[in-house]
Amino acid sequence: MSLIFNREIHKRYLSLLLSDIVKTFPERVAFKGGTCAALFYNLPRFSFDLDFDLLYMFSLSNISKLKELLSRYGEIKDFYNKKYTLFFLFDYGKGYPKIKIELNKRVWKNNIYKPAWFLGVALSIAEEATMLTNKIVALTERKSPAARDLYDSWYFLKAGYSLSDALIQERTGKSKQEYLKSAASFIKKNYTSRNVLQGLGETLDDKQKIWAKAHLINEAVTEIEKLII
């Protein structure tokens, strides 16, 4: 069965779930990831999912409360509670794309969050350097290359956002310079015009896809190499 995709409907559900989650757990979650970047940092691509850091552990009653919240608007198709991740797969309608909701239990001590407002609701979000640094480290740490990380890292670097030296050291054990050199090499080795749209293409419009296929790899490497002394 082919998926029905209406961007405005999907955005409506993302907004609805986000506002309810942060209202229900105001001190426990911090918003991050692609949808956060699109809403608060003008990331010029669509994002399908919701990602949070857990600032305080969720109890079983918290998990039950979140399940009840999601069930008001649709159906939970999958759920797991692993060592580092709480995961919900939310379905708001037959044939429509599902929304992944991930709550990360492994929160790095050098992550920094800042206050923000969304639809009149106060929340905490990853600040710029935290967002960029976690994106650029994820770029090389995933089991298989994720072009969304490449695109988002390029965007934040191009926008002039800073990296967190302390967070790079904490996550990789390398200095910023060491890590940037390895990241540039990783991109050159693992990305080509044949795979650069995998997992990314559906988040871009046609004009963006043409640009990304032709230029994203070189542009991302160029931005990284500008920071290598």
Same-domain check for residues 165 and 105? no
Same-domain check for residues 134 and 113? no
Q: Please indicate whether residue 1 or residue 171 has the higher confidence score (pLDDT).
A: 171
Q: Where among 126, 155, 175 does a domain terminate?
A: 126
125 contacts 41 by C-beta, under 8 angstroms: no
Average pLDDT, the chain: 95
Average pLDDT over residues 67-81: 97
The answer to whether residue 18 scores a pLDDT higher than 70 is yes
**Residues ≥6 apart with Cβ < 8 Å to 71:** none
Structure tokens at 227: 């920071």
Same-domain check for residues 136 and 208? yes
Same-domain check for residues 165 and 72? no
Same-domain check for residues 57 and 163? no
216 contacts 197 by C-beta, under 8 angstroms: no
pLDDT at residue number 227: 97
In this prediction, residue 3 has a pLDDT band, given cuts at 50, 70 and 90, of low
Same-domain check for residues 84 and 143? no
CATH assignment of the domain containing 61 = 3.10.450.620
Entry pTM? 0.94
Same-domain check for residues 6 and 118? yes
The answer to whether residue 1 scores a pLDDT higher than 80 is no
H/E segment holding residue 81: strand 75-81
The answer to whether residue 4 scores a pLDDT higher than 70 is no
Closest by Cα among 138, 155, 161, 160 to 204: 155
Dump pLDDT digits (tens) for 170-229.
999 999 999 999 999 999 999 999 999 999 999 999 999 999 999 999 999 999 999 998
- Give the whole-angstrom CA distance, residue 13 versus residue 192: 34
Q: Of how many residues is the chain composed?
A: 229
- Give the whole-angstrom CA distance, residue 196 versus residue 147: 6
Same-domain check for residues 121 and 189? no
Closest by Cα among 10, 55, 57, 59 to 35: 10
Same-domain check for residues 3 and 27? yes
| Host domain of residue 186 | 128-229
Q: Where among 126, 147, 175 does a domain terminate?
A: 126
* Residue 126: Cβ within 10 Å count: 27
